[in-house]
Amino acid sequence: MEGNVVFKNSIGLLIALTLLFGLGTTAVAQIRDMAPADPVPGHGGTSFGKKVAGSYLVDAELAPGILPPGQGLQTLTADGQLLSTDNGTYLGLSPLTPQQGPFLTPIFGPGHGTWEQTGEKELTHVALLQGYWGSCDPEVGECDPALTGTQVSTCKPTAVITFDDGYRVASGTFSTVCYFAGDDPLDPDSVPFFDSEAFFGPGNITYTRIGVE
């Protein structure tokens, strides 16, 4: 319980700092690929890529025993791409919102990323997803409704999962780091304001393939 309170207070402080130092986004006049330039084993529609390709229901515990489990949806393509939704619940941050101030939980947009084969039945993936302020609730505290929809942060979850023999279920561990809006999440010199593994250690994650029954 003490760790939970400390974490809540820490996130509240970080959100306050975000408001103080600005939430504006920066236009970037270039497109950068999150994947390596050279071909990677498991990409390009290879046997492994075809086996893992599909859509999955994702059950995640970012902080087992501290935050409640969450769910998300992810699609893996045969050529190494990743798309995800329902990221606010997936990251386990939604339940903390009422304690943080007048704004509802930052709304996380779709996640976009890439995966690589890192073992016989194992893959590692990384994604980026952006968080925006949700609705403003004046009854909770003083707030500016004009900030609703303003970008707060960019989070980068990373997972390592291993599939079963039928490639229907995969499980493993994951963690996520978050950067203030305007910081470059692809710059190795950027410093995240939040690192789940530093707070809690690795989280647990399970993928269940969505199929026609």
pLDDT at 4: 43
DSSP string, 112-172: EEEEEE-SSSEEEEEEEEEEE---B-TTTS---GGGTT-EEEEEEEEEEEEE-TTSSEEEE
pTM: 0.71
Question: SS3 for 96?
Answer: helix
DSSP label at 41? T
Q: How confident is the model at residue 106 (pLDDT cuts 50, 70, 90)?
A: low
Token representation of residue 146:
């004009």
H or E segment to which residue 11 belongs: helix 2-21
- Does residue 158 surpass a pLDDT of 90? yes
What digits encode the pLDDT tens for the residues 23-64? 333 333 344 444 444 444 444 456 999 999 999 999 988 888
Token representation of residue 117:
């084969």
Q: Identify the burial level of 211 via C-beta atoms within 10 angstroms of its C-beta, where 0-12 means exposed, 13-18 middle and 19 or more buried.
A: exposed
Segment 194-202 mean pLDDT: 90
Where along the chain do its domains lie? 2-23+41-209
Pick the residue with more confidence: 151 or 89? 151
pLDDT at 143: 61
CATH topology for 2-23+41-209 is: Lipocalin (2.40.128)
Of the listed ranges 127-131, 151-155, 200-204, the least confidently predicted one is 151-155
Q: How confident is the model at residue 70 (pLDDT cuts 50, 70, 90)?
A: confident
